[in-house]
């Protein structure tokens, strides 16, 4: 297995590729991503891993172009997941589905090249048809996810309610019976009598 390509970022924001011993641009890093090359970007001074930061910068540049992938509503929804209990699950869900989708693309491309050859027009037409199918497929996949999430939320809610009922079922709460009319004076007089019988001086009558 080839060793991961190491790229150093210097304080002047320049990127240095240690494999080619030359400075590269953000566009060159994007090409490495498109070629599926494994690389790591680190801070030249502190050795801090900056790979995610560089990838996010590439995404930001792409989204600032003429054909953004994410709508404002989608970005807002993603921001709301930060700090939410669903944050970890959503990240894994998106990563898993994107990986499954790219694996499916790769398999179809390999099958088309095997059947028609790499440069055959029929192979390209099949790939174009699959690309046109991506939009409806993603919508269907997200719709299925939302339905599954709704069902999972309802199950979690029912489980929490059941656990709450079980937790409080073992506690015996004493019943409170309100005194009947006329009993309040008796109780008060009884209390005063007890005080007198206990030897405490009774209040003087004016």
Predicted pLDDT of residue 178: 59
Lowest model confidence (mean pLDDT) among 2-16, 23-37, 157-171, 176-190: 176-190
Per the domain annotation, does 85 fall within a domain?
A: yes
pLDDT digits (tens, 9 = 90+) for 49-97: 999 999 999 999 999 887 888 888 888 988 888 888 778 887 888 888 7
Q: Report yes or no: 5 and 39 within 8 Å, Cβ to Cβ.
A: yes
Pairing of strands 39-43, 22-24: unpaired
Q: Would residue 100 count as lying in a domain? A: yes
Confirm whether 143 is domain-assigned. Answer: yes
Same-domain status, 52 and 88: no
> Residue 204: inside a domain, yes or no?
no
CB atoms within 10 A of CB 112: 20
170-196 residue pLDDT tens: 656 565 565 666 655 554 455 544 444
Q: What is the C-alpha to C-alpha distance for residues 41 and 52, in angstroms, rounded to an integer?
A: 8
Write the pLDDT tens digit of every residue in 25-38: 999 999 999 998 99
Does 65 lie in the same domain as 77?
no
One domain, residues 81 and 22 = no
The answer to whether residues 119 and 55 belong to one domain is: no
Q: Give the containing element (helix H, strand E) for 16.
A: strand 15-17
Say whether both 23 and 59 belong to one domain: yes
Q: How many domains does the chain have?
A: 2
| Residue 198 maps to a domain | no
Nearest to 32 by CA among 64, 2, 63: 2
* Residues 44, 80 within the same domain: no
Q: How far apart are CA 95 and CA 91, in angstroms?
A: 6
Same-domain status, 88 and 17: no
On the question of pLDDT at 142 being above 60, the answer is: no
Residues 61 and 101 in one domain: no
* Residue 172 resides in a domain: no
**Is the residue at 99 inside a domain?**
yes
45 and 112 belong to one structural domain: no
Alpha-carbon gap, residue 135 to 185, rounded angstroms? 80
Show the domain range for 6. 1-69
Mark whether 103 and 156 lie in a shared domain: yes
Q: Are residues 85 and 152 in the same domain?
A: yes
Confidence of residue 161 (pLDDT cuts 50, 70, 90): confident
Instruction: For residues 27 and 63, state if they share a domain.
Output: yes
């Amino acid at each position: 297995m080839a060793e991961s390509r190491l790229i150093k970022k210097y304080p002047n924001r320049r990127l240095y590729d240690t494999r080619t011993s030359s400075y590269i641009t953000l566009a060159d890093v994007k090409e490495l991503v498109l070629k599926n090359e494994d690389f790591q970007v680190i801070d030249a001074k502190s050795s801090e891993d900056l790979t995610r930061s560089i990838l996010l910068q590439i995404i930001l540049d792409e989204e600032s172009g003429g054909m953004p992938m994410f709508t404002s509503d989608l970005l807002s929804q993603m921001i709301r997941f930060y700090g939410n209990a669903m944050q970890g699950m959503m990240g894994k869900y998106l990563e898993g589905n994107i990986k499954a989708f790219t694996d499916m693309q790769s398999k179809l491309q390999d099958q088309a090249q095997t059947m028609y050859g790499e440069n055959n027009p029929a192979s390209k037409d099949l790939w174009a048809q699959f690309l046109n199918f991506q939009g409806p497929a993603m919508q269907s996949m997200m719709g299925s996810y939302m339905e599954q999430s709704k069902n999972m939320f309802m199950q979690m809610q029912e489980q929490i309610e059941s656990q709450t009922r079980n937790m409080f079922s073992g506690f015996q709460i004493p019943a409170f019976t309100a005194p009947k009319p006329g009993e309040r004076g008796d109780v008060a007089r009884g209390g005063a009598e007890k005080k007198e019988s206990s030897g405490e001086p009774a209040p003087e009558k004016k």
